[in-house]
Amino acid sequence: MRVLVVGAGIAGLSSATALTNCSIDCDLVERDREWTTVGAGVTLSPNGMRALRTLGLADAVEAAGQPIELVRTLTERGELRSEFPGEVWEGVGRTVAIHRAALQEVLRTGARDVSVRLGTTVTRLAPSDDAVEASFSDGTSGRYDLVVGADGIRSTVREICFHDTPPQYVGQMYWRTSVRADVVGTATMMFDERRFVALIPLGSGQTYVAAQLFGTAPFELAPADVVPVAREHFADFGSPMAEALAHFDGGTVHFGPAEEIERDQWRVGRVLLVGDAAHACSPTLAQGASMAFEDAVVLAELLDGLAVGAGSLPRALDAFVARREPRARWVRERTRLHMEVLNDGSAELAALLRETYDHLALPI
């Protein structure tokens, strides 16, 4: 079997690693010319760490990241609302925060045996009953048994092969950055009506900061305005957000809307969508990376040892969608519920999280 993975982000690198671990021949292409990351920090829930353990990468992620031992919720003035332990799910794993650059380095190491071409993406895909003919932006072409679209929320593979689903704004504008300061000693959330902040230690003297503003319509900012507007909207927040804002650097703060992809068609013939290309949603639940890792594990499990012929591959791809789509849909719907709770400043967050985590702990 020969597989093409399009996109070398979290979903693409983990999918390529999982397939290569099963001795499946895998090519990986990435449109960016250099290794880059968007955002700053990633929180990996125990279900994501479980998938990483299957990939053989959990120990490296834990070593490069910071376990979350305690979670605090505060008012916007910094007054304590609640405290609860960081998630440790028996038989599953614990919650770990990690800088995106460090996570990418771990995933690149995991995919070290994969053929990777940077600055290259697909320009044409022609699926048939027994193969997919792919044309690339560098003028080359190839024939594959399977093409995996792991190229993110604005997927080229989805645009070429599917009735495309444009990303939908979900009512949240985000500022995300990593500040070089130990602003908090443990994961901390601050919120009032229409605003929410998460501050998470990443280790090595860094803190991940995600500031969220609820609004009915998205808006754009000039690069020079990104930090001043953040300080304007969160100026009345107390410690520790006040300290974090003082460390904001315009060159490292990522600003934009939270968006989602809602679709149940993930497969056309021998072309399959995974990760954000199939099921992107708001980062409120911090499940994006974990869901991508789960996709990789399940896909490799279903393809491991398959004969290419006799219709076995299409059946395996149907089985993948049947297993993963309901779980992704549940995460999207649960994310929307969490957004409502955060939006009205409800004190029911801890109970809602507990119910959510109990479900995510179930086998994938």
Domain final residue pick, 239, 259, 279: 259
Does 202 fall in a domain?
A: yes
Q: Could you give the CA distance from residue 19 to residue 321 in angstroms, rounded to a whole number? A: 17
Any domain includes 107: yes
Confidence bin at 88 (pLDDT 50/70/90): confident
Of the residues 259, 287, 314, the one at which a domain ends: 259
Q: Does 343 score more than 60 pLDDT?
A: no
User: Would you call the peptide bond into 314 cis, given omega within 30 degrees of 0 as the criterion?
Assistant: no
Domain residues for the domain of 51 are: 2-66+100-167+260-360
Instruction: Name beta bridge partners: 257.
Output: 173
Per-residue pLDDT averaged across 52-66, rounded? 96
CATH number at residue 285: 3.50.50.60
Q: Give the total number of structural domains in the chain.
A: 2
Looking at the structure, tell me whether residues 128 and 109 fall in a common domain.
Answer: yes
Looking at the structure, tell me whether residues 159 and 293 fall in a common domain: yes
Indicate if 303 and 213 belong to the same structural domain.
no
* Residue 104 covered by a domain: yes
Q: For residue 43, what are the β-bridge partners?
A: 97
Residue 72 lies in a domain: no
CA angle 141, 126, 152 (to 5 degrees): 85
Q: On the CB side of 122, how many CA atoms lie within 13 Å of its CA?
A: 29
Residues 345 and 264 in one domain: yes
* pLDDT of amino acid 311: 63
- Residue that finishes a domain, picked among 221, 238, 259: 259
Q: Is residue 82 part of a domain?
A: no
- The answer on 344 and 213 residing in a single domain is no
138 and 177 inside one domain: no
Q: What's the CATH code of the domain at 251?
A: 3.30.9.30
Same domain? 34 vs 56: yes
Say yes or no: 12 and 123 in one domain: yes
- For 143-187, how does the pLDDT look when each residue is reduced to its tens digit (9 = 90+)? 999 999 999 999 999 999 998 889 999 999 999 999 999 999 999
Q: What is the value of pTM for the model shown?
A: 0.93
